[in-house]
């Protein structure tokens, strides 16, 4: 045992003597005599000039330190300035013992006030790629004789890193207050901790990454742990990330991003960025069989919250996908504002006097979709006062064919079901078939969908709408539309001011129900809207009905969806409750013109000059529609039943009106 101990002690003493001898030898050498040699070797290796203008010195210890002041390195010939890099002071600390085996271990590199400029010119050339690097690589490896250079730590104090792009012309500036990189095994694993600013936005980074010596190589990945604060916005990553450009092969990481200050992020990136509300995205992203897979996704955007998963193919002409989304709450006003922020307001288009837009459908994009989406929303907020419950939707896409046969929406105890089948496989037009059905849906819920408030009370509503059409725009679809519309509303009441949406509408409603000006509510017994649509023409034959405690009303006419014109007439009849307001009841009311610019005319009973009051076009009231059989002359006691059945009661002729009472008198 004693012999072994003596051998170890002797070996340590021998090594220390060698180190001491080396230190003494170095202390007798003036390193400034070798400055020109170092500069020449740098020029030989890179093709650029390295200048050591200040004094070069060293500090003796077991880990001697070589220091140089006023150091600069030449930029590429096409660069925007003469120097690519400079530093007020550079210190390099080297371990002596590894030199015995031919290895160079740099324990610490300190850069004081360094300035580095990285730039790319219009041709795509990078100033950090040296003309002599490929030529000297083999020579460097041969001359090393099997040894290696290992840098263990880099520290930066008060530095500046700039990056300039030629297309677009942008410059990013990172001011480094402090940065420390601790490496193991020649940058196989690097821990980093830094603080500074990026484009004047505070930035704090901490984490580690491995395999950096293979960065930029095809297929290279690295294990990454990152925590970052970007001007109040936080980002955390944990997993494997690609270390080269192109497809994200090898991606397998968890992420957690919290956005609090959009203005800071926009300033940092020097790019447009949407004005998002407070946002958090977290989950797990990976590449699986040429597809990007996001699992355990949790998203919060303002008040909206959702969780789910996404699978999206990244190879081939088509992009197969699978989306699952389960949202406790979706706030439409916020998301609509977000859509405008991302896409911007569409440039104003010169109007053509039409309601239905003529913008072409994205048929190529529809044809490229391949997959299915399943969405569940517990609460769908329409505005500050209106919410819808339990939206469920499943839609499948297959080479231009769209099938959505499971779209259901709970509305205050009622349920609407929608079934949609589309076919854009031709690439020229979209063929669409859709049905909308609902039973006992509160009218208040439908008013909420239309944005009308305050909502009605009661009024359970049955809805049945069938639609089919073909076109390459909404206008084309409506011009070819065929189907049926049937809406039946039960007893309820509507606050009268809820329908005051314009002076013309108010005038029309007041003429059909003079009691509106006195009563806060309209007590409704029933209402019906029923009509067919054939080849873009809606023909309403006595298909509009309303019965309240004050008036009964029947209406009919036509709506031409091809040229967006309409001609509707309404015939009101006073009920016993109207009282003194009966004198203000219209004989007929008519709406005609276009959907974009309808004209309202009122034919008052007993008016001295209907033509003078409403214009010659309205003077006939509903007579044109009467002649066409779309509106009967007298409103029956049961207008809702007439509108539902489509069968008008037999009208008495003038002779019958005289003779029938006489016949009844004699028992006939």
The rounded distance, in Å, linking the Cα atoms of 190 and 211 is: 9
Contact (Cβ atoms closer than 8 angstroms) between residue 440 and residue 489: no
Strands (E), 339-382: 369-381
Contact (Cβ atoms closer than 8 angstroms) between residue 456 and residue 480: no
Mean pLDDT of 612-622: 40
Residue 186: pLDDT over 80: no
Query: pLDDT category, 472, cuts 50, 70, 90?
Result: very high
Residue 310: pLDDT over 50: yes
Residue 645: pLDDT over 80: yes
Residue 118: pLDDT over 90: yes
Q: Average the pLDDT over each of 12-26, 521-535, 631-645 and give the range with the smallest value.
A: 12-26
Residue 560: pLDDT over 90: yes
The rounded distance, in Å, linking the Cα atoms of 506 and 412 is: 29
pLDDT for position 611: 34
Q: In a 10 Å sphere around its CB, with 0-12 CB exposed, 13-18 middle and 19+ buried, how is residue 140 labelled?
A: exposed
**What is the DSSP secondary structure assignment for residue 16, as one 8-state letter?**
H
Q: Which residue has better confidence, 161 or 248?
A: 161
Q: Which residue has better confidence, 453 or 531?
A: 531
Q: What is the DSSP string of 509-551?
A: HHHH-GGGGT-SEEEEEEEEEEEEEETTEEEEEEEEEEEESSE
pLDDT for position 629: 64
Mean pLDDT of 143-163: 79
Q: How many CB atoms lie within 10 A of CB 74?
A: 19
pLDDT averaged over every residue in the chain: 79
Count how many residues are written for the chain.
Answer: 668
Q: Which residue has better confidence, 633 or 71?
A: 71
Query: pLDDT category, 187, cuts 50, 70, 90?
Result: low
Contact (Cβ atoms closer than 8 angstroms) between residue 489 and residue 528: yes
194's CB contacts (< 8 A; 6+ apart) are 156, 176, 177, 178, 179, 180, 203, 204, 205, 206
Q: Which residue has better confidence, 141 or 416?
A: 416
Residue 156: pLDDT over 80: yes
Mean pLDDT of 404-421: 84
For residue 269, the surrounding DSSP H or E stretch is: helix 262-269
pLDDT for position 613: 35
Give the angle 285-289-292 at the CA atoms, nearest 5°.
Answer: 30
pLDDT for position 30: 59
Query: pLDDT category, 515, cuts 50, 70, 90?
Result: low
Q: Which residue has better confidence, 96 or 555?
A: 555
Contact (Cβ atoms closer than 8 angstroms) between residue 514 and residue 584: yes
Mean pLDDT of 632-639: 83
44-48, 101-105, 234-238, range with greatest mean pLDDT: 234-238
Contact (Cβ atoms closer than 8 angstroms) between residue 350 and residue 358: no
Q: In a 10 Å sphere around its CB, with 0-12 CB exposed, 13-18 middle and 19+ buried, how is residue 126 labelled?
A: exposed
Residue 193: pLDDT over 50: yes
Query: pLDDT category, 135, cuts 50, 70, 90?
Result: very low
Mean pLDDT of 8-19: 46
Q: Compute the Cα dihedral for 111, 115, 120, 125 and give only its sign.
A: negative
Q: Which residues pair with 397 in a beta bridge?
A: 371, 402
3-state SS record for 434-497:
EEEEEEEEEHHHHHHHHCCCCCCEECEEEEEEEEEEEECCHHHHHHCCEEEEEEEECCEEEEHH
Q: What percent of the chain has pLDDT over 90?
A: 39
Q: Which residues pair with 132 in a beta bridge?
A: none
289's CB contacts (< 8 A; 6+ apart) are none
Q: Average the pLDDT over each of 91-105, 168-182, 329-343, 613-627 and give the range with the smallest value.
A: 613-627
pLDDT for position 622: 47
Query: pLDDT category, 486, cuts 50, 70, 90?
Result: very high
Mean pLDDT of 334-355: 62
Residue 402: pLDDT over 60: yes
Q: What is the DSSP string of 32-48?
A: GGGHHHHHHHHHHHHSS
Q: Which residue has better confidence, 221 or 650?
A: 221
**Of 317, 283, 322, 316, the residue nearest 299 (C-alpha):** 283
pLDDT for position 609: 33
pLDDT for position 517: 62
pLDDT for position 140: 41
The rounded distance, in Å, linking the Cα atoms of 175 and 159 is: 6
For residue 569, the surrounding DSSP H or E stretch is: strand 565-574
**Of 338, 251, 260, 334, the residue nearest 295 (C-alpha):** 251
pLDDT for position 471: 95
Condensed to tens digits (0 to 9), the pLDDT of residues 206-242 reads 999 988 777 777 888 889 999 999 999 999 999 999 8
Residue 138: pLDDT over 90: no
Q: Which residue has better confidence, 298 or 15?
A: 298
Strand pairing class (104-112; 149-151): parallel
Query: pLDDT category, 328, cuts 50, 70, 90?
Result: very high
């Amino acid at each position: 045992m004693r012999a072994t101990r003596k051998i170890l002690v002797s070996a340590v003493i021998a090594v220390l003597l060698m180190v001491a001898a080396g230190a003494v030898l170095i202390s007798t050498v003036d390193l400034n005599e070798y400055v020109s040699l170092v500069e020449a070797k740098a020029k030989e290796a890179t093709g650029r000039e390295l200048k050591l203008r200040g004094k070069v010195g060293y500090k003796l210890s077991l880990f001697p330190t070589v220091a140089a002041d006023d150091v600069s390195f030449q930029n590429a010939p096409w660069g925007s300035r003469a120097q690519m890099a400079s530093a007020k002071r550079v210190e390099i600390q080297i371990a002596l013992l590894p030199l015995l085996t031919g290895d160079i271990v740099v324990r610490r590199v300190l850069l004081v006030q360094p300035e580095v400029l990285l730039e790319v010119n219009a041709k795509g050339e990078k100033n950090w790629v040296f003309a002599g690097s490929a030529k000297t690589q083999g020579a460097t490896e041969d001359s090393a004789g099997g040894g290696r250079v290992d840098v263990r730590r880099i520290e930066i104090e008060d530095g500046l890193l700039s990056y300039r792009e030629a297309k677009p012309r942008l410059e990013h500036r990172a001011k480094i207050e402090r940065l420390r990189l601790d490496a193991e095994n020649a940058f196989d694993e690097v821990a980093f901790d830094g603080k500074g600013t990026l484009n004047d936005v505070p930035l704090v980074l901490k984490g580690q990454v491995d395999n950096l010596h293979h960065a930029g190589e095809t297929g290279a990945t690295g294990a990454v742990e990152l925590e970052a604060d970007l001007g109040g916005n936080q980002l955390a990553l944990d997993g494997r990330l690609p270390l080269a450009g192109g497809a994200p092969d090898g991606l397998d990481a968890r992420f957690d991003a919290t956005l609090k200050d959009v203005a800071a992020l926009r300033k940092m990136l020097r790019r447009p960025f949407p004005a998002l509300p407070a946002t958090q995205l977290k989950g797990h992203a990976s590449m699986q069989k040429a597809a990007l897979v996001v699992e355990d996704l949790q998203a919060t955007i303002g008040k909206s919250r959702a969780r789910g998963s996404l699978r999206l193919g990244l190879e081939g002409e088509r992009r197969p996908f699978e989306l699952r989304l389960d949202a406790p709450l979706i706030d439409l006003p916020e998301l609509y504002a977000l859509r405008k922020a991302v896409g911007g307001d569409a440039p104003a288009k010169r109007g053509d006097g039409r309601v239905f837009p003529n913008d072409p459908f994205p048929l190529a994009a529809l044809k490229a979709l391949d997959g299915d989406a399943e969405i569940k929303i517990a609460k769908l907020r329409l505005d500050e006062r209106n919410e819808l419950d339990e939206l469920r939707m499943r839609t499948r896409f297959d080479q231009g064919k769209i099938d959505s046969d499971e779209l259901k929406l709970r509305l205050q105890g009622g349920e609407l079901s929608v079934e949609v089948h589309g076919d854009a496989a031709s690439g020229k037009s979209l063929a669409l078939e859709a049905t909308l059905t609902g039973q006992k849906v509160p009218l208040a819920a439908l008013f909420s969908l239309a944005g009308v408030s305050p909502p009605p009370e009661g009024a359970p509503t049955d809805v049945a709408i069938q639609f089919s059409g073909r076109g390459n725009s909404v206008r084309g679809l409506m011009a070819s539309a065929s189907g049926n519309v049937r809406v039946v509303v039960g007893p309820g009441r509507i606050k009268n001011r809820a329908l005051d949406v314009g002076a013309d509408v108010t005038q029309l409603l007041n003429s059909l129900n003079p009691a509106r000006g006195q009563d806060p509510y309209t007590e409704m017994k029933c209402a019906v809207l029923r009509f067919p649509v054939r080849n873009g023409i809606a023909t309403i034959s006595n298909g509009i009905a309303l019965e309240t405690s004050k008036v009964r009303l029947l209406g009919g006419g036509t709506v031409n969806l091809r040229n967006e014109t309409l001609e509707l007439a309404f015939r009101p009849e006073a009920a016993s409750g109207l009282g003194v307001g009966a004198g203000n009841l219209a004989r007929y009311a008519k709406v005609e013109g276009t959907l974009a610019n309808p004209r309202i005319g009122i034919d008052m009973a007993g008016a001295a000059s209907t033509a003078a009051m409403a214009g010659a076009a309205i003077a006939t009231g509903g007579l044109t529609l009467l002649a066409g059989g779309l509106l009967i002359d007298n409103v029956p006691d049961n207008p809702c039943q007439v509108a539902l059945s489509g069968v008008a009661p037999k009208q008495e002729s003038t002779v019958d009106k005289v003779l029938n009472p006489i016949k009844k008198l004699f028992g006939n």
